[in-house]
Amino acid sequence: MTRAAATYVEETAFGFWFLQSHVWQQHVLRVAIDDLKRLIDAPLPSAAVLLDAGCGQGKSFGLLQAAFAPAQLIGLDADPHSLACVRREAERQGLPVRLLASDCAAIQLNDASVDILFCHQTFHHLVEQERTLGEFWRVLKPGGLLLFAESTRFYIDTWVIRWLFRHPMQVQKSAGQYLDMLREQGFEFAERNVSYPYLWWSRAQDFGLLERWGLRQPKPVGQRDETLVNLVARKPLEQPQP
């Protein structure tokens, strides 16, 4: 898959192993999905089509089914090794998932065909982020929801993450830069639709130990370099005229 190799950076062997771990499923995925569901401030679409863009090894499927009860669940990933794991995971969970071997920058779905798009810890692997966001916009229906959970450059650009994982460092962004990117694409969201989790595992300098030991007071939002950003954005019902 030459095209995919040019537009995203593959996981390391450690990263691939980590994405099938209990820690990943329970302490990363589950926590993010619970938080994203909390940030939604409007009724969910009925009989929704839900796309998991960059579904990895499919560990999110059962959590997404439980949280959003979609009528159709689509898993998309460009990595053939991951997709082989995804098929087995969907069968293990007994979920009728439609799988797409597709690049996030060229999604093989029709325009306005998705009600909810879930993108969790995928964007920081992508080289063509603006193009991918344009694809998210294209496949979402007017009024559709983008559930976006991402690590910022203040987490990605640390010695632990550089040692264990692999990312395109030239495209890493701060939380504010991700928010600006989504707004520029046309997505709408308010402050109540955004959260900045400051989880211990995202603080690779000291893993929050100094605060847990009482040696340092935690900094509030606005006075720290955010390591994670979760947000729920909506594609407007009425599109702006060119």
Per-residue pLDDT of the chain (242 residues; tens, 9 = 90+): 333 345 767 777 767 777 778 887 888 899 999 999 999 998 998 899 999 999 988 899 999 999 999 999 999 998 888 888 888 888 888 999 999 998 899 999 999 999 999 999 988 888 889 999 999 999 999 999 999 999 898 777 666 666 666 667 677 889 999 999 999 999 999 999 999 987 555 555 554 544 554 555 566 566 677 888 999 999 998 765 55
Cβ contacts of 117 within 8 Å, gap of 6 or more: 50, 51, 53, 136, 139, 140, 144, 145, 146, 147
Domain coordinates in residue numbering, the chain: 2-201+229-234
| CATH of span 2-201+229-234 | 3.40.50.150
